[in-house]
Amino acid sequence: MANGHLQEAVSTLKNTKVRMTPQRHAILEYLYETMNHPTADDIYKALESKFPNMSVATVYNNLRVFKNVGIVKELTYGDSSSRFDCVTTEHYHIICSDCGKIVDFHYPGLDEVETLAEQVTGFQVHDHRMEIYGTCQDCKMVSH
């Protein structure tokens, strides 16, 4: 299933001028398998053994390429480094303020907010973003 999404992403790339390279495939594979919201550096380290010569710039460059094509989303939280997420279904994130863990959280979507915003502000809305912050169960334990 994750594999299916990966294939889909690969064929999306095929339709553009973007070439498929081993590095790009590995980055995508990692994103779609782990579903882990990694930073660019996380990805770099994870693929270090497979691609000892790969540059950090390659990771950044390709993440940007993927983002432009629309198969990867960039998430900027407060913690200085962006996180990257493969675009699959509509879901939000809940983030633990203590340990930083990110958990997917499915929710119907906030389309009504978008339409209301359009009416009130006159903007032409094309996206929104929401995150929830809290303390995860593990961290609740620790603090007791």
The contact mask relative to DNA for 7-36 (x = CB under 7 A, - = no) is ----------xxxxxxxx------------
Q: Please state the closest distance from residue 84 (CB atom) to DNA, in A.
A: 9
CB–CB of 77/119 below 8 Å?
no
Scanning residues 96 to 135, which ones bind DNA (CB under 7 A)?
none
User: E strand or H helix at 68, and its extent?
Assistant: helix 56-69
| CA 29 from centroid of its chain's CA atoms | 13
Phi-psi map region of 109: left, alpha, beta (phi>0 left; psi -120 to 50 alpha): left
Considering only the stretches 53-61, 94-102, 111-119, 122-130, report the one whose residues sit in contact with DNA under the rule CB under 7 A: 53-61
Among 74, 99, 100, 111, binds a second copy (CB under 8 A): 74
First to last CA, the chain: 39
Considering only the stretches 16-24, 38-46, 49-57, 70-78, report the one whose residues sit in contact with a second copy under the rule CB under 8 A: 70-78
Q: Residue 96: which of 79, 121, 113, 82 has the closest Cα?
A: 79
Contact between 120 and a second copy (CB under 8 A)?
yes
CB–CB of 72/42 below 8 Å?
no
Q: Which does 144 bind (CB under 5 to 8 A by kind): a second copy, DNA, none?
A: none
Residue 14 or 128 with smaller CB distance to a second copy: 128
